[in-house]
Amino acid sequence: MKNIYNIGLIGFGTIGAGVVETFNRNLDLMEQKVGTKIRLKKVVDLDIKTDRGVEVDKNILSTDVNDILDDPEIDIVIELIGGYEPAKSFILKAMENKKHVVTANKALLAKHWEEILETANKNHVRICFEASVGGGIPLLGPLNESLGANNIQSIYGIINGTANYILTKMTDEGLDFEYVLREAQEKGYAEQDPTFDIEGHDTAQKLIILTILGFGIYVKQDKFHVEGISKIKQEDIEFIKNEMGYSIKLLAISKIEGEKLEVRVHPTLISQDHLLASVNDVFNGVYLVGDIVGPVMMYGQGAGMMPTASAVVGDCLDIMGNTERKNIYGPNNTEVKKIKDIEDINSKYYLRLNVIDKPGVLHTISGILSNYDISIESVSQKKKDEGQEVPIFMVTHEALEKNIRKSLKEIANLDFVKKDTLFIRVL
């Protein structure tokens, strides 16, 4: 083992400041655990003047990334600037200069996984990314290592704190989506442009990484269904909670079915007695099933300065403990022949139709559903004067999604249907 490990940090934002603070607080503890000296040798950012609220030696600050990438003494590069470029170029150059890399950059990994892994292996360096999914939750390491004796059968994840916070507030306080979103933006839980979080793209990028580790298969985002929460109304929340005993969660799903792999992101109804239903506010939770271990639940803070920094520094310690370890992520799953299309899944469905209340409406809708082999488990209609617009809530028995979509397309053409029908899958 080396006498000292030198680390270079690219990106001195919120998480970068957390990494510096972690070294300030627990350097002695970390050195005891790895049995060698550790030095944060250089911190690079375009802005090195703004006070980050952490103590840092001004002599290690720089605005020149090459002070890290070209320094032969630096062993590990931490990349925390996010995005695709210049992060990708920095990571690849670090690897080509024989430096191990730690990153929290889920977007980059999800889009350029194959090139990054190939570059790491070609240069015999490690790439670690525990902080890219689940923030401070010990998730990817246990999935890849501690559960390595298992064939993973399914992964279900609530892995976006913004969407989960919004749905929790809507459920617990009876608030509308738009109001809660504004509140989340004011509190810093949501970006000023929240599209990435509320439309499922952040969740999808994280699911790509979970799928690699769980099943050894890299699936690009354009190959699977991604759907967000912006169409969910308070009336849906109330019915689903009070009449069905379910919660709505933005769920990431990856599971094996024979020779097909299901990968999808969408709002999902979860029974309130399921462990995932208790994952609320900005917390994250991942529920998976292995063929040996059975069900496993991992829960904790999925974002934030110090939880994410904990995962980043943990990766550094892991590298120091075994620099020769190969980058093996997930099994070599040769059984999977195809990614299952969303239209080929079978599920129960919750439907909310907005119609003009008049005789024969339910009979007509039920008839169309029946024509597509869709049977109704329950139906509820709010009472209003005849001729007014009224929501109808339905829950179907298990049906083929292709048939659900075809039936709703036909129903949408009826003159008494006034808005697009919302449908949500039931876990």
Residue 2: burial class (beta carbons within 10 Å; 0-12, 13-18, 19+): exposed
Residue with tokens 């269904």: 225
SS3 assignment, position 164: helix
| Three-state SS at 412 | helix
Gap between the Cα atoms of 274 and 427, Å rounded: 10
CA distances (Å), origin 17, targets 43, 51, 124, 137? 10, 10, 29, 19
Known catalytic membership, residue 337: no
Rounded Cα distance, 236 and 388, in Å:
19
Going by the DSSP 8-state scheme, the letter that residue 417 receives in this structure is B
Catalytic residue among 93, 99, 206, 249: 206
Q: How far apart are CA 377 and CA 397, in angstroms?
A: 5
Q: Is the dihedral of CA 137, 303, 173, 243 positive or negative?
A: negative
Q: Alpha-carbon distance 94 to 89, whole Å? A: 8
Whether the CB-CB separation of 132 and 106 falls below 8 Å is answered with: yes
Residues assigned a catalytic role: 206
